[in-house]
Structure 1
Amino acid sequence: METTRETGAQVLAELSAAEAAPEAEARDGLDPKEVPAPHGIRVTAVPPWREGLVVQVLPDAYRDIVEIVADAPGPLQAKQIVPRIGLEATTAKIEGTRGKLKRLMERGWLDEDAPGRFTLARHGGDASRVNSR
């Protein structure tokens, strides 16, 4: 039982370190979108939104989602986004997209106006920055 706790604590510490690593690794010349995770597994990093950051810093799948949400006339649900990004509307694809939407919301790229309904995050009213290069 003690070994399980120690292993769990070690894994959590490694994951926390991997989340903090993108900026340091970007300075070291590695691609900031791919951060080495423990045991050689690569993970896709979604950076937190900050002033001056454009959508091109996001991995392709996340960028597509943000651009679709930005172009929509109102809030969108995951099931509405899936066919627009070229995926089959299966439960697995919808849930995977919902996870990406939640991650984008947590990192400040999107807002969830109502449960499951996503819009572009309001950062001083400058929605045009999403598609700027």
Structure 2
Amino acid sequence: MSEQLADERASAAPAPAPGQVGGRTVMLIPHRTSGAETTLPPDYQRILAVVRRAAGPVMARQVVGDALGIDVSVRAKLEPLRGKLVRLVDRGWLRKLSDSRFTTRL
């Protein structure tokens, strides 16, 4: 019985949420593979380019203010960017450090 419960829990683990494009289910931010950068949406490509150009790990506020030109004094504009950064971390494009800074994957 416990094995069956363990199997059910493992199969119920949440998978990345896919989107719908042209009636087909697709993952909007794909997992990182070689040569897949061109498949990222333009916003994500700009974010990735900013993090790569930085001299070291960056905070979400630095990415927004310095490169994307969004007003960082408004928290409502900062949180969507933080979500995009976390999505890039989840898919293997970036790495999040323990101090909430983001850097590129090696």
- Read off the aligned partner of 2:103 and give its amino acid letter: T
CA distance in 1, matches of 2:27, 2:44: 10
Partner of 1:64: 46
List aligned pairs for 1:33-72, cutoff 5 A.
Answer: 35-36=19-20, 45-54=28-37, 56-72=38-54
* Offset, 1:53: 2.1
* Offset, 1:102: 0.4
SS at match of 1:95: helix
TM-score (norm 2): 0.71
- Read off the aligned partner of 1:52 and give its amino acid letter: G
Q: Does 1:114 align with 2:98?
A: yes
* Offset, 1:99: 0.5
- Read off the aligned partner of 1:99 and give its amino acid letter: G
TM-score (norm 1): 0.58
Which consecutive unaligned segments of at least 5 residues does structure 2 have?
Answer: 1-11
CA distance in 2, matches of 1:61, 1:36: 18
Structure 1 ranges of 4+ moved more than 3 A = 15-18
CA distance in 1, matches of 2:42, 2:62: 18
- Does the C-alpha gap of structure 1 residues 44 and 82 become closer, same or farther in structure 2, counting only changes over 3 Å? farther
Which consecutive unaligned segments of at least 5 residues does structure 1 have?
Answer: 1-12, 20-34, 123-133
Alignment counterpart, residue 78 of structure 1, candidates 43, 47, 60: 60
- Read off the aligned partner of 1:68 and give its amino acid letter: V
